[in-house]
Structure 1
Amino acid sequence: MLRPILICSRRTFVTTPRNFAKKKLIGSDSGRGTKMAKVVVETPKPIRDTELLVTRCCGLNKYVEGEDPVLKPDEEYPDWLWTIHTGKPKTFLDMDPDTKEYWYALKLANRVQRNKAKKGIRFYTPPKMHELSFLSRLPLKHANQ
């Protein structure tokens, strides 16, 4: 004997506006009812005192009270601190292949290249018309001279 199939949605639809009954609390960032205190943080003014800039690490103190730490002589800091690279990030072409950083950078470069290939971005762009019609101002060298 065949049973009748009852097609019913698992989701129930509510026609009454239930979310309109809730009131937002004053000062809350989200509608979930959690009160959050808003703190206005002012950006610090740049320090222009040269004596203070030379003797202290300005901006390192994260507490409201207290002072910035005093800088020590260079001899008291570890040697590795002076070898940290602070310029532009190095590519894998500039690194030593015997380091982990090289292989991480190579992995990242390969991932970027694969993502560009998936998007259809071409790696070779042909020269533009104005680049092909370049005329040099230098005199031509003849073969018979």
Structure 2
Amino acid sequence: MAASMRQAMCLLRTRLFLQSALHYRIPPSHYLPFQSADGTLNLWKISALTYAKKAGKGSKSVEPKELMEVNADPDYLVSHCSGSNYFKEGQDVKLGADEDYPEWLWDLHIGPPPTLEELSPDTPQYWRKLRKMHMRRNNRLAQTKKF
């Protein structure tokens, strides 16, 4: 009696699923029939509905980007700021004499960022870097938890 009741419930559930699939216009390729060991029939819904649709005939084709040409002329690189012109037409900015630029420009730090030991604890940069290091450490530790 229990096995026939289970099969009746399974058939009812299958019919309800198929009706809802037809109602929501889910194509038959998105659900999968499965028969368990006791002979009952189940339907599993394949989660392919959440994926993006493939481009059709009327969609635009993606063209590869054109890469900028690298200028290796040493005289040009010394006299112009290469890559400063982002327009399709025009030329790069021509560099002026060193006296035309402010003094602070030549004092800028262009190397790797200073380590925590090189910074003074009286500066906000020190505490910002310390906070960032602790956040990274805590995130790494949180990833190792097993539950």
Q: Which residue matches 2:120? A: 96
Cα pair distance change 1:118/1:68, threshold 3 Å: same
Q: Which residue matches 1:107? A: 131
Q: Which residue matches 1:24? A: 56
Q: In the aligned structure 2, how far is the partner of 1:63 from the partner of 1:79? A: 30
Percent same amino acid among aligned pairs? 30
- How many residue pairs match? The answer is 100
User: 2:86 aligns to what SS in structure 1?
Assistant: coil
Q: In the aligned structure 2, how far is the partner of 1:87 from the partner of 1:62? A: 26
**1:24, distance to aligned residue in structure 2 (A):** 3.3
Cα pair distance change 1:82/1:97, threshold 3 Å: farther
Cα pair distance change 1:89/1:113, threshold 3 Å: same
Q: Which residue matches 2:67? A: 43
Tell me, which stretches of 5 or more residues in structure 2 are unaligned? 1-19, 28-48, 50-54
Q: Is the 8 A contact 1:57 1:69 kept in 2?
A: yes
Structure 1: 4+ residue segments shifted above 3 A: 37-40
Q: In the aligned structure 2, how far is the partner of 1:70 from the partner of 1:42? A: 24
**Bigger relative contact order, structure 1 or 2, given CA contacts below 8 A and separation 6+?**
2
Tell me, which stretches of 5 or more residues in structure 1 are unaligned? 1-12, 29-36, 122-145
1:52 to 72, 76, 91: 76
